[in-house]
Structure 1
């Protein structure tokens, strides 16, 4: 998520009053993904079908199976 979207997202949280925009800027790390490679960023311009495909492929690569 880009920083300009972060304050609005943060405002929806129960702890929103605990951290102002200055604090958010200190905390914010662009593309702060988990180091194990299991997490990826999906761009805001990603089409729904591409997003779903990316998620499903990532789950398959991580060894998760769909039960049902």
Structure 2
């Protein structure tokens, strides 16, 4: 999701700069207000997914993780 979020963010910055006629402070404030909810949602989902991956709750999940992760 990081790559997708970067592309969405880039487009949103461009749109905000155009909408605010190059006024950087206003554009970035609008960009932040527009994108903040999405960024926070993606970050929260990443934390849950990472926690589930690092500390699986079932034996099956442990086995799945172990087959998908190369040994160190």
TM-score by length of 1: 0.28
Structure possessing the higher relative contact order (Cα contacts under 8 Å, 6 or more residues apart)? 1
Structure in which a larger fraction of residues adopt helix: 2
